[in-house]
Amino acid sequence: MTKLSIELADDVRTRLQNRAARAGHESVEAYVTALLKAEVEEPEDEYGAPPHLTYRSDVALEALLLERVMDESPGIEATPEFWEDLKRRATERRRKGA
C-alpha cells in the first residue's frame, strides 16, 4: 500500500471534515480514501458513501423500495417536526461519534 500525503488549507480541511461527517465517515482521511476508491474501483457514482447508504444495482434499489411499499407496518409522516427531530438526533450521534 502506498501512502499519499497532501497539504490542505485550513478552510478546505474544515469543509472536508463537514462533508465527511455528513457522509458518515469517521475522518477526512476515511472520506478521501472512500472517494478515491470509488473513483477507481466502482462503476456507480456513490461519492464515497459508506456501504449502508448505498445499493448495488437498480434492481436492488427497486427491491428495497418495493419491500417498503408492501410493508404493512405504519408509515411515518414526514412533518417539519419529524425532520427537525431527525436532524437533532443525527447531530447528537455525530457529536458522540456513533
Domain residue limits, the chain: 1-54
What span, in angstroms and rounded, lies between the C-alpha atoms of 23 and 54? Answer: 11
pLDDT digits (tens, 9 = 90+) for 73-86: 888 889 999 999 99
Q: Which of 46, 28, 25, 26 is nearest to 37 (CA)?
A: 46
State pLDDT tens for residues 36-81.
887 776 555 555 666 766 777 778 888 888 888 888 888 888 999 9
